[in-house]
Amino acid sequence: MSQTQSPKTSSQATEQEQPSRTPAEWVTFGIASCILAGIVGLVLYVWFGTNYQDDPQISIRESGEVREAEGNYYLPFEVSNTGGSTAESVQIMAELEVNGEVTESAEQQIDFLSGGETEEGAFVFSEDPQQGELTLRVASYKLP
């Protein structure tokens, strides 16, 4: 259907007879169909082949060594959603207990955590968290 751009081709000829598709157009159409079919196929796979409707299951853990810089202690964490659906506004907290009382707490909010996704960050304490008892927990989330 596309006409050649060369000046020799008059544009009137193409207006009278519907030009057939060129081989090049068939090739690109073939590639385009594959891309579209691939995307639709992947969507169907997510729909029927995964647990995308299951509730979120969010877990948090320390993901590395505490490092100290300028009097602050950085505790890296990893929060992951092993459930199916996405959780929004995931609230995570860390509490540091020294000698039986909570001396410091830190919190963080993750905007969106898809099923299967892992996010990383750090809690910052002014005392060494290794000297006390540390509790990491996921406080809340909401469904989008």
Partner 1 sequence: MRSAKRQQIWRTEIRDIVRGACGGFLFGIPLLYTMEVWWIGSFIEPPRMLIAIAATFVVVFMLNRTSGFRNTRDTNLQDAAMDSVEAIALGLACAALILTLLREIAPSTPLDEALGKIIYEGVPFTLGVALARQLLRADDNGNGQETTESRGRQSGSSQTSSPAINDTLSDIGGTLIGSLFIAFNIAPTDEVAMLSSAVSPPWLIAIIVTSLLISYGIVFEANFSDQKKRKQQRGIFQRPLSETVMSYLVSLAAAAVMLWFFDQLSFDDPWSMWLSYTLILGLPATIGGAAGRLAV
In the complex, the residues that contact partner 1 under the rule CB under 8 A are 1-7, 11, 14-15, 18-19, 21-25, 27-29, 31-33, 35-36, 39-40, 42-47, 50, 52-53, 85-86, 88, 111-112, 114-118, 144
State in angstroms the smallest separation of the CB of 94 from partner 1. Answer: 23
Calpha distance 82→90 (Å, rounded)? 14
Of 116, 120, 121, 134, the closest CA to residue 57 belongs to: 116
Cβ closest to partner 1, residue 6 vs residue 99: 6
Cβ closest to partner 1, residue 42 vs residue 102: 42
Cβ closest to partner 1, residue 2 vs residue 72: 2
CA-CA distances (angstroms) from residue 72 to 67, 114, 132?
8, 31, 15
Calpha distance 21→34 (Å, rounded)? 18
| Residue 36 DSSP label | H
Cβ closest to partner 1, residue 35 vs residue 102: 35
State in angstroms the smallest separation of the CB of 60 from partner 1. Answer: 17
Q: Is 93 within 8 Å of 106 (Cβ atoms)?
A: yes
State in angstroms the smallest separation of the CB of 11 from partner 1. Answer: 5
Strand partners, 140: 91
State in angstroms the smallest separation of the CB of 4 from partner 1. Answer: 5
Cβ closest to partner 1, residue 52 vs residue 74: 52
List the end-to-end C-alpha distance of the chain, in Å, as a whole number. 46
